[in-house]
Structure 1
Amino acid sequence: MQETVILADAACDMPRALMAELGVQTLPFRIRAGDRFVADVRDEPALPSLYAQYLVGKQDHYAESIPLLEREIEEHMLRHVVTTCDRALLLTIASSRSKLYAHAMGAVVGTMAKSFKLRKDAGRTGLFALTVIDTGAIGPGQALIVREAARMLNAGASAQAVVETVETRLRDAAHMFLVPDALLYMYTRAKHKGENSITWGRYLLGSTFNIRPIVHMHRGETEPVAKARGADEGMRRLMAHAEQCIRSGRLLSPAVSLSYAGPPGAIRALPAFQSLERSAQQHGVELMLAPMSLTVALNVGAKAFGMSYLCEDPPPLE
């Protein structure tokens, strides 16, 4: 029987313990800081010091996340994956946010062609198969899609069934929300990348009146959908929104994913999280709280909060 593994890039905000439980492997991102390069491999214990080093007070974009090149993805797959299984499904960050998907697609043929001898030497027959899937999501949204794909595979579903489910249902149902805290960081990051998610006018308004945008992402597209008086109020509204989805039975999958570019204990201490946690327990919903990946946090700043769920007909954000 063909063995299949699931890989997710380091932008996937899934708790490390859950990744290990589901057998999900990580494809690294590269972080460039000045003339130094470090690998983002979702090393959770190291994240607090990485936040302090690369995010806090860094308005000049000292660091940036860079996807691996085609040859580097090939090298990673040949070194770590092709001799341990017969097929891999790589679920990537939204192609609208990163070139990783394009680079991974370019690495498919080379990986398969170069795998034959390595696999033969390892006692495996046939070519290795690599399928690359654009999740259309980032961070906690990507984590939910990866979770469902891994659960399906572990329950005995075929690789093709997993691919079809991701591409025809899960990608459309993934809704992700973000509340930034460091507005100046996010404004200068957006300007640096040629985006208008936060304009100069929005930054001035937000900094003057302590207003934070609530940003919604769906199928790779982002837009501000609401404003909150401070990041704490934004987080409270998002968690109340998730609680509403749970209580109304709207979730396509019994899980809500949350990530924070800071200590997760700060989120657990919030009354809104504790209320959400009680509702989740009552309705058999899993809460996936994870530290935000450095790759994602570098684009949104320290203390940014992300939340995601899978829902085909979500209620409006109140």
Structure 2
Amino acid sequence: MQKIALVTDSASDITKELKERYNVRVLPFRIIYKDREYSDGVDITPKYVYDTLETEAPTSSLPAMKDIENMYEELKSEGYTHVIIVTLSSGLSGVHNAISLASENHPEIKSFVYDSKAISYAEALPIVEAAKMIEKGMSFEEIVKEIPRVTEKTELFFVVGTLEYLKRGGRIGRVSGTIAELLNIKPIISVDKNGVYYTYDKVRGRKQSINRMLEIAKDKLSNKKYDIHIIHGEAEDESKNVAEQLKGLENVNSVTFHGYLSPVSGVHSGPGLIGVIFYEVE
């Protein structure tokens, strides 16, 4: 009989409630300051990251190999036969490759290491949907076939307060930075099929960028039904306002306000992020 475990990394922004409900294990990224190191979401908060960004410049690193190895040892001791692991986009991090390599050391557990090609709750959705499939009694093989379809139905858009932190962390992908900053151009950023950031659209000024996000939402909702998830990085009031404006729109199945994105994502995005994740529902 199959016993299937679920694992993701801390960049997925999976909520505490869902983590506990579905027994999802979360591998923490590491946040490294000049004289100290933290485990993402374990002993550091998003608020702490934002409060120290101007005076300190932390970097991030992959989950420790010992954490990955310990995770596999725990699964083995608990009698798991299979594991589904959903990771941050390989276009943004080496975590997928690291876990894939580690999984080869544990042939006793059949592993499916899935590159979400996404970040934040767009990364969490395949894990959440896999959990629902497990509850329905679907097999490992059936779930593995369905997970890519979850990604196909998911889109992510976000704006940031400044492009400085994306540039500093080398995560800017195909988003042009310096000239845009000088002209106060605010790109609407999305993630392409390869899991790399790109400019979906650009407008001038913060207010217009938020209005453009709402226009994108209205356009998408004109012919399809969606669950919408809102995440923010030190932009709570603006994000809540976006959530409220989306709730009344036609074809909105649900709007969920998740609060802060993970500390490790905050290191690279800086303050002012508003993220909107769309998940197409039948």
TM-score (norm 2): 0.86
List per-residue Cα deviations over 1:95-145 (Å, max 9, x = no partner): 111000000011012234xxxxxxxxxxxxxx3332211111111311223
What residue in structure 2 maps to residue 161 of structure 1?
Answer: 142
Q: What secondary structure is seen at the aligned counterpart in 1 of 2:144?
A: helix
Q: CA contact under 8 A between 1:22 and 1:150: conserved in structure 2? A: yes
What residue in structure 1 maps to residue 202 of structure 2?
Answer: 227
CA RMSD of aligned residues (A): 2.7
What residue in structure 2 maps to residue 262 of structure 1?
Answer: 234
What residue in structure 1 maps to residue 35 of structure 2?
Answer: 35
1:16 Cα offset (Å):
2.0
Q: 1:86 to 1:263 in 2, by over 3 A?
A: farther
4+ aligned runs moved over 6 Å, structure 1: none
Q: 1:97 to 1:196 in 2, by over 3 A?
A: same
List per-residue Cα deviations over 1:232-271 (Å, max 9, x = no partner): 43234324433543453344xxx22221112645522x1x
Q: CA contact under 8 A between 2:160 and 2:269: conserved in structure 1? A: yes
For residue 152 of structure 2, the aligned residue among 153, 160, 172 is 172
**Counterpart code for 2:271:** A
Could you list the runs of 5+ residues in structure 2 that have no partner in the other structure? none
Q: What secondary structure is seen at the aligned counterpart in 2 of 1:137?
A: coil
Cα distance between partner residues in 2 of 1:275 and 1:181: 20
Cα distance between partner residues in 2 of 1:26 and 1:224: 30
Cα distance between partner residues in 1 of 2:6 and 2:252: 28
Q: CA contact under 8 A between 1:174 and 1:311: conserved in structure 2? A: yes
Q: 1:106 to 1:230 in 2, by over 3 A?
A: same
List per-residue Cα deviations over 1:249-303 (Å, max 9, x = no partner): 344xxx22221112645522x1x321212348x8532525231111212111112
What residue in structure 2 maps to residue 130 of structure 1?
Answer: 111
Q: What secondary structure is seen at the aligned counterpart in 2 of 1:82?
A: helix
**Counterpart code for 2:90:** S
Q: 1:72 to 1:284 in 2, by over 3 A?
A: closer
For residue 75 of structure 2, the aligned residue among 75, 81, 103 is 81
Cα distance between partner residues in 2 of 1:13 and 1:82: 26
**Counterpart code for 1:227:** K
Q: 1:185 to 1:175 in 2, by over 3 A?
A: same
Cα distance between partner residues in 1 of 2:11 and 2:82: 22
Q: 1:14 to 1:199 in 2, by over 3 A?
A: same
**Counterpart code for 1:73:** I
Q: What secondary structure is seen at the aligned counterpart in 2 of 1:110?
A: coil
Q: Is residue 2:78 matched to residue 1:97?
A: no
Q: CA contact under 8 A between 1:144 and 1:256: conserved in structure 2? A: no
Q: 1:143 to 1:257 in 2, by over 3 A?
A: farther
Could you list the runs of 5+ residues in structure 1 that have no partner in the other structure? 113-126, 313-318
1:83 Cα offset (Å):
2.2
Cα distance between partner residues in 2 of 1:204 and 1:301: 17
What residue in structure 2 maps to residue 301 of structure 1?
Answer: 270
Aligned pairs for 1:188-203 within 5 A: 188-190=168-170, 195=173, 197-203=175-181
Q: 1:197 to 1:31 in 2, by over 3 A?
A: same
List per-residue Cα deviations over 1:191-249 (Å, max 9, x = no partner): xx68552332222122xxxx211111133032112123333432343244335434533
Q: CA contact under 8 A between 2:156 and 2:190: conserved in structure 1? A: yes
What residue in structure 2 maps to residue 123 of structure 1?
Answer: none
Cα distance between partner residues in 2 of 1:225 and 1:177: 8
Q: 1:256 to 1:283 in 2, by over 3 A?
A: closer
What residue in structure 2 maps to residue 110 of structure 1?
Answer: 105
**Counterpart code for 2:142:** A
Q: What secondary structure is seen at the aligned counterpart in 2 of 1:88?
A: strand
**Counterpart code for 2:245:** S
Q: 1:158 to 1:43 in 2, by over 3 A?
A: farther
**Counterpart code for 2:230:** L
**Counterpart code for 1:198:** S
Q: Is residue 2:204 matched to residue 1:205?
A: no
User: Counting helix residues as a fraction of each chain, which structure ranks higher?
Assistant: 1
